[in-house]
């Protein structure tokens, strides 16, 4: 299995469907590396420990983390299954950014940003990253999130291990369209 294929498979298993591979994430989203490799192998996906380590180390979005002893792995964010990443709420910068596709703007203007099937809304520290995220969904548009104001109003923000900002929702009054 190539690294990109393995990365996509890991995202699927560790963020969305561990049960399809006979795996159960612990409360913080961790799973034993040896069990994961056995489960992949049992379903026809060959991956070696060295390759897994390489994907974790070189993934451009740093989607995965290994435990300090290297025996467990988890996704850093983006889960649609319930996990507690044990992130402490932190004060965000005044502005954060959210990339999406123009076809979602009417809904966002009405309802704001919602986590949908995931646990959190994902926000970027810069507009360029947000635009790249939006491009994956269609014609990109970048929304400016008034994170400082939302935090002051009681919104909680978390910073994942790979630098993605997370929050439960962003109501419409805290959003602006980037010009």
39, part of any domain: yes
117 and 51 in a single domain? The answer is no
pTM for the whole structure: 0.77
In a domain, 87, yes or no: no
Question: Residue 67: its pLDDT value, please?
Answer: 94
Domain interval for residue 172? 96-177
- Find the CATH number of the domain harbouring 154: 3.20.170.30
Strand partners, 143: 98, 177
Does 161 map to a domain? yes
d(CA 139, CA 86): 34
Q: Is residue 90 part of a domain?
A: no
Domain endpoint, select from 75, 105, 139:
75
pLDDT tens, 81-107? 888 888 899 999 999 999 999 999 999
Q: How many residues does the chain have?
A: 179
Cβ distance 114 to 121 under 8 Å? yes
| Total number of domains in the chain | 2
């Amino acid at each position: 299995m190539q690294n990109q294929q393995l990365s996509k498979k890991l995202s699927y298993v560790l963020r969305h469907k561990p049960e399809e591979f006979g795996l159960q994430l612990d409360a913080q989203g961790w799973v034993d590396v040896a069990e994961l490799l056995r489960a992949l192998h049992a379903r026809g996906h060959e991956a070696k420990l060295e390759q897994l380590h390489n994907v974790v180390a070189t993934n451009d979005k740093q989607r995965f983390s290994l435990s300090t002893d290297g025996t467990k792995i988890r996704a850093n964010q983006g889960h649609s299954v319930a996990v507690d990443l044990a992130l402490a709420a932190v004060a965000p910068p005044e502005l954060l950014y959210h990339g999406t596709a123009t076809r979602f703007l009417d809904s966002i203007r009405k309802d704001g940003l919602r986590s949908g099937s995931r646990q959190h809304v994902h926000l970027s520290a810069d507009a360029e990253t947000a635009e790249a995220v939006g491009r994956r969904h269609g014609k990109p548009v970048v929304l400016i999130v008034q994170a400082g104001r939302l935090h002051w109003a009681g919104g909680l923000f978390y910073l994942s291990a790979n630098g993605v900002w997370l929050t439960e929702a962003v109501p419409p009054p805290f959003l602006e369209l980037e010009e």
